[in-house]
Every structure is written in structure tokens, then in C-alpha cells.
Chains A and B, each alone.
Chain A
Amino acid sequence: MHQVEIATTQETLLDSPEMILNMGPQHPSTHGVLRVVLKLDGETVIDLDCDIGYLHRGMEKIAENRMYTQIAPYWDRLDYIAAVSNGLVWVETVEQMMGLAVPPRAHYLRTILTELNRIASHLLWLATHALDIGAVTVLLWALREREEILKIFERQFGARLTCHAWRVGGMPNDAYDDFNSDVRTFVNNFPKRLDEYETVLSENRIWLSRTVGIGVISAEDAIAIGLSGPALRGSGVPWDVRKSRPYAAYADVDFDIPLGENGDTYDRYLVRLEEMRQSRRIIDQALEKLPDGPVNAKLPKIVKPPAGDYYHSIEGPKGEIGCYVVSDGSAQPWRVRVRPPSFVNLQALKQMCVGHLVADVVAIIGTLDIVLGEIDR
């Protein structure tokens, strides 16, 4: 375990105005096993340090000893809340290394299912974020809707959380029989549910006072740190991989990017809510245009991408998740590196928190929407 370096005075607790508070790894709202060491003056945070690595499983190293097609299930365990998106970044990277063209139906299904996954991930974020700020009821309301998505996943992939959704070259199987109607039902019901959350939170004075002006980060700082996803768009930077380098079938669907103005917790909240609406719009269009045909491309018996290095990224629910793969031409990658959005977004924590109170640290960890499985890998 690495030494957390916060200068402590040699005085006793009573003499010193400062107190070191160890938050995590076992703490209800550090969203997993994040350890934050806070230096407090009263309840005001004057310094903090993150300690990560409690969930390190050596994914990138494991990947060096697996065949290309075998790696996908491991990727589900990165950001286990958005397993479908994570799986997609791996298979698309391999497909690009191989120069493989995937049938359009597979692309559309991928779009629909990753957007469903984005909604599920944002719902879990909303649930836990609201829980951190004390609105317990939103937790169960959001999980109720997430359940509908997980049911679709269960029928489609056979699993709810770590789906192993994709195969290199397409999908393991075509959409199940009632897929269209199930998704359609969800798409139709979802806006009402979103409005419910808005009535409970968006106009609520307590919610406003807990989120407006908390954890502000400017667009310049956000870019300098390398934030991505809703955390970046909350500061007003129009960057979305789905737009700038469309993958799957995103080139064929219309959607808007919600942008915040102040870069505070409230803006990020609104951005994520609007993203759910836009995701719904994308699903709606993709379902409308869903072509027929095969869902798999022809694949060699052993996937052996030509030597070279490749980078491909997609817009995961938490931000830009990328895969950098170096191939030496064998059946196993020589080196794999993931660009984890949560890890990068976490770097903004100190800048956002200093000067705020302990209660705000929890709110800010929530608004960054981190998943420790992805940070520690």
C-alpha cells in the first residue's frame, strides 16, 4: 500500500485545528473501495488524497495471456455497471485491427443495447448520487427502471450485469423474439419516469442548495485534466465520441449533446438526465431503422491481427473509454492498455473538493460517477 502523503502536524488532535479523516475503503458512499484521505479544518476540506488499487485485478496483464476473443468477458468486469459498453470497445478494437466489417444489423443492435446500458448506468448513478445527498427514495425508483433494462439484457445475453454481450465480428446471437416490443415498451414508458425524478429533485430547494455551485470545474481545467463524458460536457465542452468519431450505427441517428454552463454538480446532474432522454431518442430511431440480415461477420478460426498498435475509443456512460492494443501478429496481444474514464475523471476530485465540506466530498464523488472496477482494473 502506498504511503499517503499529507503533511501532518506533530500536535495532538486537540491542539491542532486540522484533522485527518480516513474515508474508505469501507465507507458507504465512496462507490466501491475508493479511499480518500481528507485533511479537515473543522468540516472544511483543506486537502485530500485518493488511494486506489483495492480492486486491482491486473486485467491488462491478464489480457496479454489470452486470445483476442477470450479477453472480452474480462472487459465486462472493468466498469461492471456498463459491461455492454466495455465489451463493445474491446470487440470494436479487435475488429478494426482485423479490418473486419460488421453487418449493419449488428451495428444497430449494438447501438440499441449500448444506449440501454448507458441509461442503466446513468440510472444507477442517479440512484446512488441521490442517496449520497440523502434522497433515498430516488434510489429505489431509479433501480426500478434499471430493472426493466436488466431484464432485456438477461433475455438477450443471459446475464444481467456482466453480460459478455458481443463477439468479435458481431453478436453471439440475433435479438430474441420479443426484443423489439420489449425495448419499445421501455422507450415509451421511460420519459414519464424521468419526469418523476425531475419532480423530486430538479426543483427541490434542498437538492439545489446541495448541488448548485458545488464541485465547480471550468472548461479549461476540465480539458487540462482530461475529463470526458458528462463530467466534461457539464463544463460546456461539446465533446462526444459518438459525434466526433461515430462507431456502431451512431452515424445514422440524430441526437443532441447536452451542455452545462457552470460545470457544477447541478449541471452535471442535468446533463446526465438529458443524456438519458437523448439515449432514448437514439434507441427509438435505431429501433425504427433496425435492418434485417446476419449479425455476424465471417471470422477466421484464430483471430490474429497484423502487427502494429491500435487505439479505438467509444463514448461509455462515464466518458471516453478507449483501448490501446499493441499486436505482435500472434493470437495474443502483446500489450493492452485501457483508457479508463473513471480514473481520469477522479483526478479532478481534489480540485473540486478543496474548500468544500465533508458532505460535499460525498456529493462530488457521486457526481464524478466513478466505478472502482474501472479505476483499479
Chain B
Amino acid sequence: MALLSPLNLVNDLLLKVFNQETINYAVWPLIQIGLVVTLVALWVAYATYLERKISAFIQARLGPMRVGPWGLLQPIADGLKLLTKEDFVPEKADRWIFFFAPYIAVAAAFIVFSVIPFGPDWAVITDVNIGLLLVLAVSSVGVLALILAGWSSNSKYALLGALRSSAQMVSYEVGMGLALIGALMFSRTLSLSGIIGAQGSDSIWFIAYQPVGFLLFLVAGIAENNRAPFDLPEAESELVAGFHTEYSGMRWSLFFMAEYAAMVVVASVATTVYLGGWYVPFVNRLDTNGYHNLYVLVCVLAFVIKASIILYIYFWLRWTLPRFRYDQLMDIGWKWLIPAAIINIGWSAVTVFLAQALDTWGVLDTIQHVGYRLDLTAKGKGVVIGMGLVGLALTGVLLSRINWRSRDFHLKTQRRNIRLVDVPKGKPAVAVAERS
């Protein structure tokens, strides 16, 4: 009860102004929204700090060190700097679209947080029964902002960046959506809390059932966020800054925030669907022992840590890999990712069928309980995990069959070593003085 009392205190205070119904349906959600937006914005800001630090350590340097201890205040200093910078609008830009594009980007990224379950109970703003669909739908609005920004800037670099980003995000959304379907077959719900619940009741993360799906989602997520090695829309060495070439000051930083917020979204969805979300084994004892709010906080912390691990993978990849080319990106999207996702769907269906069939045939005792969701016994989990690993191999084999004829598949054999030759030396061109 330790942490519950402050909430009750606030509730009592609110009761003096509103009735309990208003508080439940309007005041508490608003407080939740305010908190989530603030905290997520802070998370986003410190994600930039972390990225700078991690990239610095990868590159044998220190990163931000001057503003505050270990440069911890750097994101705040950056924000202040960007707020005070000139917000420049090119003369021939389409003014209104140019103004509103960044807001669309940020809004699309932040709206998704309304359904992300950061923890149980009060740590989720709302639990929509089509949560995952909503996440995909809203985050794909983000591409609109990029296109509008690129188009309204009236700059060729921005236009090229916008074209690239629209092609990229449209094709990777397909792969992303298809990659998630495999996991949905096990959760049997689109509600994000429901997906976590399914993993909690099975006490296993879906990454074990769906290794292929997880990998596909990670890759598609990077592409969806326009992050390296898929950061073509803003490929700085080719397109200067891509779709936000003409943006400056706070409007630019809104795009920047949207990018990081979208990363946090993808990391959160990956955590929710594949890494068990806020679910941590044994922690619910806190709940049953009466420390409900502490339990929620621990779960939120677990969620943030898991999502941050995925963010770290993103940073790591960005600072390690070179950038793909536009056509290669499309190849990966359509010739690798989408076939793999379709194979994964088929294989997951076979897995679910087999897990149930083994039980009905009486071969193996796999099913604990069939109802709203599929509850597996330990043997059943073993079967599904085994099938998942087989699926990993199967996907690899099928993909290599599909792409056997493509040029890029045999890159390593195309690579030839250089040869070293020793050419006989010609007549020296310079005179050497006698040794004195």
C-alpha cells in the first residue's frame, strides 16, 4: 500500500471539484496523457543523448561531456538552442504545407503512445482491441509528413528524399505488418495488453515462438524509421539531408523528435509483441503482497529497459553498417522481407495447427487449455520453439532459392583478391650524393 496512498490523496482532492465519473473518464486519462507525453518526450530526448554517447564509444571518443556531468544536460541545451534558432522558410516553399508537415510527423509518432502498454493497470492510457492495427495505421501517417515536407520545400534534394521515403515506407510497412501476423496467431488478439497477457500466461516471450518474425520486424522497423543502414531519405552524403534539407530550428527538431519517437514506438511494439512487454516473471508477487503501485513501476521499468535494448541495437547497427542503395533497399524489401514474412505466416499456421493436432491425435500432451487463447504445456512450448527454429532454417533455405539468381546473392564470390606484382625498377630519376 506504500505507493498507493498518494494516488488516493489526489483522487480525494479531485473529488472536491469533479464527481468520481468525470475523474475516471476525463481527469485521470488527461493526467496519464500528460505524463506519458512528457516522459516519452524525455525518453526521446535522452535517446538522442544515448545515441551520441554510444556512437562516441564505438568511435573511440567521449561524446558530449561539457554540458552537465558527462554531458547529461546536452539534450536540454540542444532543445534550447533549436528553439532560439531562426525558423527559415525558403522563398518558394509552399508555406502552409511547409509549416504543418513537422506537426503531422510528431503527431503521428506520439499518437501511437496512446495504446502502448507501458505497464499493467494505470500505466496504459487506453487498451484498444485493435491496438496493433492502430499502431500500424497511425505510424504510416508519418510518411505523409515526409512527402509533404519534401514536396513543399521546393528543393530537388528534399523531393528526392521524399520520393525515396514514400517508396521505402510503403514497401516496408507491408513487410512489417506481415511479420507481426505470426505472433498474432499465438496471442489471438490485436490488443497490445492482450498480447502481453498471452505471453504472461504462457510465461514465455513470443521471440521464442517467432524468431523469424522478430528478426523481420526488427529489420522492417529500422527501414520504417529511416534509420541506417536504411536511412536513404536523409542520406546525408547523397541528398544533403533528404526531406528536411530546407528545415531549420525548431521545425527541424520536430522532425528529429518524430524520428526518435518513431524509433521508440517500433522498439515498444517489438517489446510488446516479442519480448513480453512489461511482463517480468515473479514480479507479480509484489502485486499479490499488496505493493500494487510498486509492481506497476517495476513493470514500466522492465518495459523501458527491454525497449532500450532494442533501441541500442538500432544505434549499434547505425554506427556499424554502411548505407544501402535505393534499389538494393527495394530488393531487400520485396525479395527478402516480404517473401520471408509470407513464409513465416504459413509456417506459424502449420505450427499452431501441429501443436493442436498433436494433442487431439493423442501423440503428445501439448495443450493445457483451449479457449480465448492457446495455453500450451511445457511439451507444447517445446514443440512450438522447435518448429520456430526449423522455420528459421526453412526461411533461410527458401529465401536463398528465391534470390539465387540475383547478383547480390553471390557477392562474396564476385569479390576477387588483388594481386601483388613486383615490377622491375627503372633508371633512378635522382642523383644521390656521395657519402662524405
Contacts and interface: CB of A to CB of B under 8 A. Distances in A.
B97 to A, nearest CB: 17
A210 interface: yes
Contact of B421 (A207, A256, A359, A362): A256
Contact of A261 (B236, B319, B418, B435): B418
B24 interface: no
B362 interface: no
Interface stretch (B53-61, B366-374, B391-399): B53-61
Given A99-B431, A245-B426, A257-B421, A137 B320 contact: yes
Contacts of A103: 432-433, 435-436
Contacts, number: 182
Interface string A183-219: 0000000000000000011011111111011000000
Interface string B203-247: 000000000000000000000000011011001111110000000
A362 B323 CA distance: 12
Interface stretch (B75-83, B283-291, B324-332, B349-357): B324-332
B418 A210 contact: no
B414 A256 contact: no
A120 B392 CA distance: 45
Contacts of A320: none
A135 interface: yes
B417 interface: yes
B425 interface: yes
Interface string B36-75: 0000000000000000000100111100000000000000
Contacts of B160: 21, 43, 358
B412 A203 contact: yes
B363 interface: no
Contacts of A358: 160, 238-239
B419 interface: yes
B325 A209 contact: yes
A259 to B, nearest CB: 5
A246 interface: yes
Contacts of A260: 418
Most buried by A among B320, B321, B407, B422: B321
Contacts of B423: 238, 240, 243-244, 257
Nearest to B164: A43
Main secondary structure of the interface of B (DSSP, over half): loop
A96 interface: yes
B231 A137 contact: no
B2 interface: no
Contact of A107 (B321, B326, B432): B432
Interface residues of A, number: 76
A64 interface: no
B359 interface: no
A100 B429 CA distance: 12
Contacts of B416: 261-262, 267
Contact of A141 (B60, B238, B327): B60
A139 B157 CA distance: 24
Interface stretch (A125-133, A174-182, A326-334): A125-133
Given A28-B236, A134-B321, A101 B431 contact: yes
A245 B436 contact: no
B240 A27 contact: yes
Contacts of B424: 243
Interface of B: 55, 58-61, 156-157, 160, 228-229, 231-232, 235-240, 319-328, 407-408, 411-412, 414-436
Interface of A: 19, 21-22, 27-29, 43, 92, 95-96, 99-104, 107, 130-137, 139-141, 144, 200-201, 203-210, 212-213, 238, 240, 243-248, 250-251, 254-262, 266-267, 270-271, 274, 291, 293-294, 297, 312, 357-362
16 contacts: A28-B240, A99-B431, A101-B433, A136-B59, A137-B320, A204-B322, A206-B229, A213-B414, A245-B427, A246-B426, A251-B425, A257-B423, A258-B420, A266-B415, A274-B418, A359-B323
